[in-house]
Structure 1
Amino acid sequence: MFSRFERLVDAFPDEEPAAPPQTLLAFVWHFARPVWPLLVAMAVLTAAISVIEVSLFGFLGNVVDWFGDTPPERFLAERGWQLALMGFVILLVLPGIQLIDGLVNFQAIFGNFPMRFRYSMHRWLLGHSLAFFQDEFAGRVSQKLMQTALAVRETVIKSIDVFLYVAVYFTGVVVLAASSDWKLALPFIGWLVLYAVMLRFFIPRLDRVAERQADARAEMTGRIVDAYANVQTVKLFAHTRREGDYARSSMSGFLKTVYGQARLITLFVVCLQTLNSLLLFSVAAAGIGLWVNDLVTVGAIAASVGLVLRIHGMSQWIMWEVSALFENIGTIRDGMATLQIPHAITDRPKAQPLAVPKGEIRFENVSFHYGKGGGVLRDFDLTIRPGEKVGLVGRSGAGKSTILNLLMRFHDVEAGRILIDGTDIRDVPQDSLREKIGMVTQDTSLLHRSIRDNVLYGRPDADEAEMMRAVARAEATDFVADLRDRDGRIGLDAEVGERGVKLSGGQRQRIAIARVMLKDAPILLLDEATSALDSEIEAAIAENLYRLMEGKTVIAVAHRLSTIAALDRLVVLDRGAIVEEGTHSELVASGGLYASLWARQVGGFLAVGEDGTFEAAPDTMRAAE
C-alpha cells in the first residue's frame, strides 16, 4: 500500500528541464503542475476533515441538550441510532480519511515533490556556463537548491492546509453558531476580521525578514563550505582564526535577521493571545445573555465555548503555519534570483551531433574579451590541419587558454566563428562537441569518488581491460595499487577525497591523463598537462602521450617549452595575436619572441645566474637547438 502511493509521483523525470518561470506563482505552479491531481485529492480530504470536526462540536451541543430533555431510561432508545452513527464517523470514517490523507501527503508528495524539484533544477544548473559557477559559491548554489525545493513543497501544502482548512472550518463555525442565534455568530465574525487585519500587518514584515534570512543563510553556508573546500590553503597560511572571523561576519548578519524575526513573532503571539481572550469573553458573555433571555440552549453555549477553545489552539497553529508559509515564500523568492538565471550558452533548436571525420580546426576572425574593455582576442585567425600537432606559446595573458576555452565552448565568441571540419561549433550540441574533444588541464580536480569512477569518467562504457590499460599508460599503476581510504577500500576502489585532495598533484595529473587516454577523442587539448609531474614521471608519460596524439588533431599549451618543442608547428601569441609560427628550430633561428622565451630556459627549465637572477645558458641552449 505504501509503495503504491510512493510510485504515484516520478521523482526523476526524463524530460529535459526547461527554464523556470520568472513570477512567483508561475514558478511554484511550474513544479506543482505534475502533482496537481494529488493536490486536488489532498484539498478534498482536508475539506472533509474540517467539516467532520465542526460537525463534532455541533453534535456535542446536541448531546448536552439531549441530556436535559431525555430521561436516562429512554436516552439510548431514542438517541441510540444517532450516537451509533456518530461513533461510526469518529471510529471509522475520520481515521479512514486521515489514513488516505496521510498516504497522499506523506507517501506520494512529501519526499517525491521536492526531489523532483532538486533533480530537475540540478540538471538545469549543470547546463550553466563555467562563468556562472566561477561567480558563485558552490555551497551557496547548492544551499539555494536544497532550501528552495523544500520551500516550494511547503508553500503548496501549507496553502492548501491553512487557507482551505480555515475557510471551510470558519464557515462551519459561523453557520453552527448562527443556527442557534445570529447574535452568537457575531463574536466569531469580529474575531475573524481582526485576525485577518493582524495577519495583514505581520505577515508581509515576516515575509521580508524571511527573504533576507534565506539569503543570509546561503551566504553563511557558502563561506563555511568555501573554507572547508580550501582547508589546505587555510592551514598553509595559518588563517584558521581569519576564516573563523570571515564566517562570523556572515553568521552575525544571519543572526540579525533571526532577531528581527523573533521580535515580530513575539508581538504576533501577544496580539493573538489578546484577541483569543476577547473572543472567549465575548462568546461567553453573549451566550449567557442569550440563555438568560431564553434565546439559546445550554447545548448551543457548550458547543460555542468548545469552538472558542478549539479556535484558541488552532489560531496558534494558523499563526505558525502562515508565518512558515511566508517564510517559505521568502525563501523561494531568494532562490529564484539564482535559479532563474538564464543559460548564457545554449544549444540551437534541433542541433545535430558533431561529426569529426578529419579533425580540421579553423578560427575565423574571432574576437573575445571576457566582458572587459580590451580584447583578449581580436580578429584572430588560425587553421589547424587534420592530425596536426600545434603548440601555443606566449607570455601569461597572451590568450592561449582562452583559445582552448572557446574551442570547448565554455564561452561563446563575440565575433567570428570556430569551425571543426567545416561545422560551426555553435551549430552542434555542447555535449556532442565536448565528446569529440579530450582535454587535460593544469588545475586538475577529481570527483570525490573512487579511482575507478574517475578514470571511467572518460568513457563510462569501457571495460576493465581498457581502463587498466589507460591507467598503465599514464604511469599510475604503482601508486594506485598502494592507495587505501579510511573505509578500507584499496587500489582502484579507494576514494580520492574532495577534488582529489588525498592524492599529490602529480598523482591527480596522471589520473586525469588516464581519463583522457580512455576517452580517446579525435581532438586533444593539453593545457600544461604535465606541469605537476616530476621530470622522471614526465619522461615516462611522454612516450605514451605522443602515442596518444597519433591520428589526432592536437593543441598543446605549455610554459615549459621543451614539452612542446617537438610538435609539428608552434604558434607564438602576444596580446591575442599571432606574432610568429613555425617549427622549434625555425623560430629559434629567427631570433624573435619565441627565441627570447627559449633563451630564458635550458631544455625547458630556467637557469639561475651567480647574482640570483634567471639567465640563459648559451651552451646548453645551443645544444638544445
Structure 2
Amino acid sequence: MIFQRIAELFERWIDPLADHTPERPPEKLVPFLWYFLRQAKWPFFAMLIVGGGVAIMESAAFWFMGVLIDILDGTPREAGWSGLMAEYGWVLIGMAFAMVVVRVGLTTLQMLIEEQTIVPGFNNLVRWQSYRYVARQSLDFFQNDFAGRIVTKVTAAGQSIGDLMSSLLQVVWFMAIYAISTMALVAALDWRLAALIALWIAIFAVLARFFVPRIRENARELAEANSMMSGRMVDSFSNILTLKLFGSDEGNDGYMRGGFERLIARVKAFTRLITGVRASLSLLSGVMITAIAALSVHLWFSSDISSGDVAFTLGLSLRLSMLLGRLMMQLNGIMRAIGTIQNSAELIAQPIGLVDKPDAVPLVLRNPAIRFDNVSFGYDGGKGVIRDFSLDVRAGEKVGIVGRSGAGKSTLVNLLLRFYDVDGGRILIDGQNIADVTQESLRAGIGMVTQDTGLLHRPIRDNIRFGNEDAGDDMLWEAVERAEADSFIADLADLRGRKGLDAYVGERGVKLSGGQRQRIAISRVMLKDAPILVLDEATSALDSEVEAAIQANLMKLMEGKTVLAIAHRLSTIAALDRLIVMDKGRIVEEGTHEALIEKGGLYASLWARQSGGFLPELDDGE
C-alpha cells in the first residue's frame, strides 16, 4: 500500500493528456526533441541529478573495496570482529550505510522516475500530442500515405524519445560521471594510472566519432524501411478481401517480399557496423586492461600503492571496460532512436495542408443558401477538374447533380466541405465565404451520406452518435427507425456477446453488409439534422425494396433543408426541384426532370441509355 502511494505520486508528475493546443512541432531533430522535453523538464532534471549520484556510488563501491582490503591486510586475524569494529567501526558502518541506504535509495528513486513518470507519462504525452496534430491534417495528407505507416511513426515517436532520454541520462550521463570519478580516485593513487585511463577514454571517443555518424544514418534508413514494411503489411491486411478476390498469394507475397528484401538489406548494413564496433572495443579493452594491470603491479613492487589500491584500480578498470562496451552498444540504441525520431519528425512536423485563417469565425447559418462563384480546381495543380463553375442553390432548394463518372460531381462536394481549397473563385454559404470560417463549424452545418460508408470498429451506438454526441437513446432509436435500420440492429451480436447498439462492427464495418452500413450512415445524418444535406450516392448500396422504404424517409429528412444530391441512378433524384447536368467540370444543362427530358440533350440521352440505373464512365477521372 505504501509503495503504491509512492508510485502514484510519481505517476501524477506528468499528465500526458493535459490540455494542449495542437500545434506544429519543429521539424529539425534537436528543436523537435526540445519541443516535447520542455514540457517534462523537471522529471528529466531529476533523472540527471539522481543518475549522477548513482554513478558516484558505483565508483565509491570499488573504493570501499580497496579500503576494506587494506584494513584487513593490517588487522591480525585473531583480533576478530570485536577488534576490527573497535579500530574501524565507524568507517565500516559508514560504508555499509552508503551501500545499503544511499545507493539503494538513489537506485530506487531513479527507477521510480523512469518507470512511473517517464514511461507512462512522457512517452504518451508525445504520442497524444503528435496524434492530435496529425489528425488535423488535410484529407490529401492521408490519401497520399499508408495509414499503417502514419500510425507507426506517430506511436514510435513517443517511445523513441523516451528511450533516447533514458539512455542519455542512465548510460551516457552515468558513464561520464563514472569516468570522471574513476580518474579522480585513481589520480589520488598515482597520476600514471589516471593518464592510462584518460588515454583509454580518448581512444574510445575517436572510435565513437568514427562509428556514430555511420550508425545514425543507417539507423534512419532502417527506421524508414521498418515503417514502410509496416505500412505495406497493414495495407494488405486492411484490404484482405480484395486480395483474396482478385489477387494471388504468389503476387501478394512478391509485393511483400520486396519490402522485406529492402528491410533485410538495411538490417545487414546496420549489423555490419555493430560488429565492427564490438570488435574494435574488444581489442581496445583487452590492451588497456593489460596495460593498467601491468602498471599497477609495477607500482605495488615499488611500494607506491597498496594491495587494496591494486584491487581497487583493477576493479574500476574492469567495470569501466564493461561500461564502455555497454555505452557503445547503447549508442547503437541511441542512434536507432534518433533515426526513428528523425523519421517520425519528418512526418509529424509537416505543416497542415489546409488550415483555418487566423481570423476565421464560426459559420452562422440562418438562411442556408449555397453559391459556387466561378470556381476552378485541379488536384495537385494538375488538369482542371472543375472549370469556371457557377451555381446558386436557394435555401431549402433540393438540387440533384447528374453526370457521368469523371464529370466532377464528387470533387464539387469535396470543395463544398472544404477538404480542398479552390484554385479560383469562391464558395459561399449564407453569404459567408467558406474559406473565412472554421472548418469544424462548416462541416457541423452539413450532413452527408457517401457512397463508400466507412464505420469505426466501435459500437453501433457510437458510430451513429457521431451525428449528435449529446443525443439520448430515444433520439438515437428514432433516427435508426427512420433509416429502416432497426430491423437488423436488434439482431446483431459480436464475438464477445455484445448485442444490438452495443455490438462492434469490425474494421470499417466489415461485419455488416453494404446496405446495413449505408443505413447506419443515414441514421447518423438523420440524428445530426444539419440544415444542409449532401447525398453522394446515398442509396447506391441498397436493394430496391430497402431503397424504396428509405427514399420516403429521405424525402422527409430533406424537408426544410438545402440539399445537394449526387446519383448515378437518375430515378432517385428525378423528383428534386432542379437537376444540374455536369460534363468535364462544367454545367451543361439544368432544369427539372421533365424539362430536361423534353429538351432532348445530354440528360435525356443518359436517361434513355440507363440500364439498371447506372451511367457510363468518362475516361477522365475525378
Structure 1 length-normalised TM: 0.95
Q: Aligned to 1:362, which of 371, 376, 391?
A: 371
1:481-496 to structure 2, matched below 5 A, reads: 481-496=490-505
1:175-574 to 2 correspondences below 5 Å: 175-574=184-583
Q: 2:315, 2:611 → 1: CA distance?
A: 94
Deviation string 1:396-418 (CA, Å, 9 cap, x unpaired) is 21111111000101101111111
User: Take 1:76 and 1:493, find their aligned partners in 2: how far apart are those partners?
Assistant: 73
Q: Distance in 1 between the 2:359 and 2:94 partners?
A: 64
SS at 1:371 equivalent: helix
Q: Which whole-Å CA distance do the structure 2 matches of 1:178 and 1:601 have between them?
A: 95
Give how far 1:66 is off: 2.2
Partner-residue secondary structure (3-state), 2:507: coil
* Residue deviations 1:589-614 (CA, integer Å, cap 9, x gap): 1111111111112684689xxxxxxx
- Asked if 1:30 corresponds to 2:30, the answer is no
**CA displacement 1:37-61 (0-9 Å, x = unmatched):** 0100110000111111112212222
C-alpha displacement of 1:294: 2.1
- The counterpart of 2:50, out of the listed 45, 67, 77, is 45
Q: How many residues align?
A: 607
Provide the residue aligned with 1:116 in structure 2. Answer: 125
Following the alignment from structure 1 to structure 2, what is the Cα–Cα distance between the partners of residues 518 and 123? 26
CA distance in 2, matches of 1:547, 1:421: 23
Cα distance in 1 for partners of 2:213, 2:392 equals 61
Q: Does the C-alpha gap of structure 1 residues 310 and 472 become closer, same or farther in structure 2, counting only changes over 3 Å?
A: same
Query: 13, 16, 20: which is aligned to 1:11?
Result: 16
Partner residue, 1:579: 588
Matching residue's letter, 1:244: D
Gaps in structure 1 of 5+ consecutive residues = 608-625
Cα distance 1:604–1:75, how it changes in 2: closer, same or farther (>3 A)? closer
Decide which of 46, 52, 58 is 2:63's aligned counterpart.
Answer: 58
Counterparts of 1:68 and 1:498, CA distance in 2: 74
Q: Which residue of 2 aligns with 1:88?
A: 97
| Distance in 1 separating the partners of 2:172 and 2:277 | 19
Range moving further from structure 2, 364-373 or 598-607: 598-607
- Residues 414 and 83 of structure 1, relative CA distance in 2, 3 Å threshold: same
Q: Which moved more, 1:25-34 or 1:372-381?
A: 372-381
Q: Matched residue of 1:127: which SS? A: coil
More relative contact order, 1 or 2 (CA 8 Å, 6+ apart): 2
* Alignment partners' CA distance in 1, 2:158 and 2:109: 24
| Secondary structure at 1:581 match in 2 | strand
Residue 148 of structure 1: how far off its partner (Å)? 1.7
Tell me if the contact between 2:405 and 2:615 (Cα under 8 Å) persists in the aligned partners. Answer: no
Whether the 8 Å CA contact 2:404–2:615 is kept in 1: the answer is no
Structure 1 position 302, deviation (Å): 1.1
Aligned counterparts of 1:324 and 1:251: Cα–Cα separation in 2: 22
SS in 2 for 1:499: helix
Q: Which runs of 5+ in 2 are unaligned?
A: 1-5, 617-622
Deviation sequence 1:336-384 (CA, Å, 0-9, x none): 2211211110012242211111101111121110124321112221111
How much has 1:67 moved relative to structure 2? 2.4
Query: Could you tell which deviates more after superposition, 454-463 or 540-549?
Result: 454-463
Cα distance, 1:245 vs structure 2? 2.0
Q: Does the 8 Å contact 1:563/1:604 carry over to 2?
A: no
What TM-score, normalized by structure 2, do the two folds share?
Answer: 0.95
Pick from 150, 172, 177: which aligns with 1:168? 177
Task: Check whether the contact 1:32–1:156 (CA below 8 A) recurs between aligned residues.
Answer: no
1:69 aligns with 2:78: no
What are the Cα deviations for residues 166-224 of structure 1, in whole angstroms up to 9, with x where unaligned? Answer: 22111111111110110111221111011111111222221111111111111111111
- Indicate the larger mover: 594-603 or 293-302: 594-603
Amino acid at match of 1:189: A
